[in-house]
Structure 1
Amino acid sequence: MNSFTVTVPASSANLGPGFDALGLALGLHDVVDVRVIDAGLKVEVVDAGAGGVEDVPTDETHLVVQAIRRTCERLDVRPPGLHLRCFNKIPHARGLGSSAAAVVSGVAAGYAIAEKPLDAEAVQIAAEFEGHADNAAASLLGGLVIAWCEDGRFHADRVTVHRGIRPVLAVPAVKSATAATRGLLPAKVPHADAAFTAGRAALAVHALTCDPSVLLAATADRLHQHYRAPAYPATARLVRDLRNAGVAAAVSGAGPTVIALTTDGIIPAEVGVEGFVVTELPVETAGVQVTAR
């Protein structure tokens, strides 16, 4: 393909206890028009979503470009030149997988240029950028993914989400950086906390696929969220208030967005959401899509 469009969904990782292991694709998308040209590189950022266009690079450091270059190298193709037009709806640095979506856009574009279908190696290429596959695999495959790494190889399996689950996202204006919040995590955690979280992660898969009635218990976490809470006190408060009101809430990825896994799409009126934009987003089942232009 020499001219095509890549559409990639946002994602929410962890979902409480599934740290670096669970990812959920959401119905909010970035779109990249890609055209192979005779020579050079041209990147147009038409829409940067919640961020400013001026903050997005338009050279070889653009994340989509980096992912295309790496993917094409792996697939042994050399496009002579590239022209990208980027329409970004996923807000940057909010815990909705914007960087993973950019990488997945580039990986899918590289496969399209090579005229090859996406395969397991696409997960590997995408996950290498962040060191874990939860967000990237969700954007690649859609639905709920279970991701893991073994002997340096990243893997992910997709499972079907229960049709009664209706995610609601509360997105603040403030940003967060995964590297910064990951730096708040201790090198060791108590065995009891690890055991508790492992059990809840297993329960989360059951809740998300079969029995939403246990979502509140299934999204409890002792592994990472409370360590990161000082970085975003408003987020921590909202998660606490929602859970006290019986809503299965968690920090979305590295934050500061909050994800509420509901069955009715409703945030209780008594829970204050000042400072957050609250939006119901459907589970995206399709994953990344490439269409010829």
Structure 2
Amino acid sequence: MISVKIPATTANVGPGFDCLGIALDIYNNFFVEEIEDGLVIEGCDDEYCNEDNLIYKSMKKCFQRIGYKHKGIRIKIENDIPISRGLGSSASCVLGGVIAANKIAGNKLSKDEILKISSEIEGHPDNVAPALLGGMVTSIKEGDDIYCSKINIPKGLKFCALIPDFKLSTEKSRAVLPSEIPYKDGVFNVGRVSLMVSALINGQFDLIKLACKDSLHQKYRGSLIKDYDNIIKKCKDLDSIGVFLSGAGPTIMVMLKENDINFYNKIQKYTSTLDNKWSIKELNIDNKGIDV
């Protein structure tokens, strides 16, 4: 049996729309084996225990690319990454399926090829790349190819995820985005994403609050999340290093100094006054990525 452990990811990191992502220490574990016949899926809702399961669909895509004729497949899922919350749950399923299929087929694909196939299935590499490689990764698509670079972040930083009790689909959160943007908004984001990468590499954490600002997606997606603006303001008031919408949302991600011991209790107390329930999780960067 093949065991695949994949970290959660937070994408965009403010201004880095569809190109920045960070792996974090929440994990999905998938246990996969080839059996004589059929499809057996355990550990998820009945509606996903069929051929439309994203892990299985990703496996089939990988088998087709390699040219491997599989028999039956058994998949057991241990899911700790919240679904449809902007923490890379779908990317973990895609990557888990591709990696498991490649292993069953005899490890025919390189890591670059795994990244390419997974990004094709997922639609973009911003979650897949950090989940595969660990740490913070910037990634782009050029033609049919994916290029990425891992960013080494100095110690001293931790994260706090504010995860609501409601889901937000990627389709819905993309539907609210404008089809065109003003030139000034593009310039604004180029500057902020450049500052974000530079500040993190150099450990200039005091600049991150500015670097988290964005003109491409957060103000539009935030309108879909009840109390979004108030929560962002509260996080800033509590001396966070930075705060941004995690991926397509609705999770709100907060950057903190590693020695900050007050934020967790204060934000938990604040969110308890809101209409929706919010789960608060302190997290760290996962620098390893996948574990097979």
Structures share fold, TM-score greater than 0.5:
yes
Deviates more, 1:156-165 or 1:135-144: 156-165
Q: Which amino acid letter does the alignment assign opposite residue 286 of structure 1?
A: K
Instruction: Tell me how far 1:245 sits from its aligned partner.
Output: 3.9
TM-score by length of 1: 0.91
Q: Does residue 1:72 correspond to 2:75, yes or no?
A: no
2:223 aligns with 230
Instruction: Report the number of matched residues.
Output: 281
Q: CA deviation at 1:270?
A: 5.6
Match for 2:173 among 181, 184, 197? 181
RMSD: 1.6
1:92-140 Cα shifts (integer Å, max 9, x gaps): 0101010011001011112211222642111111111232100011111
CA distance in 1: counterparts of 2:291 and 2:225, whole angstroms: 34
Amino acid at match of 2:63: C
Question: What is the correspondence of 1:76-115 to structure 2 with a 5 Å cutoff?
Answer: 76-115=67-106
Residue 209 of structure 2 corresponds to residue 216 of structure 1: yes
Aligned counterparts, 1:1-293, within 5 A: 3-45=1-43, 48=44, 53-54=45-46, 56-116=47-107, 118-211=110-203, 212-247=205-240, 248-264=242-258, 265-266=260-261, 267=263, 271=267, 272-274=270-272, 275-290=277-292
Distance in 2 separating the partners of 1:240 and 1:73? 49
Q: What percentage of aligned pairs have identical amino acids?
A: 31
TM-score of the pair, normalised by structure 2:
0.91
Aligned counterparts of 1:60 and 1:281: Cα–Cα separation in 2: 33
Deviates more, 1:205-214 or 1:35-44: 205-214
Alpha carbons 1:11, 1:25 under 8 Å: kept: yes
* Unpaired runs of at least 5, structure 2: none
Please give the alpha-carbon distance, in whole angstroms, between the structure 2 residues aligned to 1:203 and 1:78: 48
Distance in 1, matches of 2:233 and 2:58, equals 37
* DSSP 3-state at the match of 2:210: helix
User: How far apart, in 2, do the equivalents of 1:236 and 1:100 lie?
Assistant: 28
CA distance in 2, matches of 1:136, 1:250: 19
Q: CA deviation at 1:213?
A: 2.4
User: How far has the Cα of 1:209 moved from its partner?
Assistant: 2.5
Cα distance in 2 for partners of 1:133, 1:141 equals: 12
The residue identity in structure 2 corresponding to 1:257 is T
Higher alpha-carbon deviation: 208-217 or 66-75: 208-217
Structure 1 window deviating more from structure 2 (268-277 vs 145-154): it is: 268-277
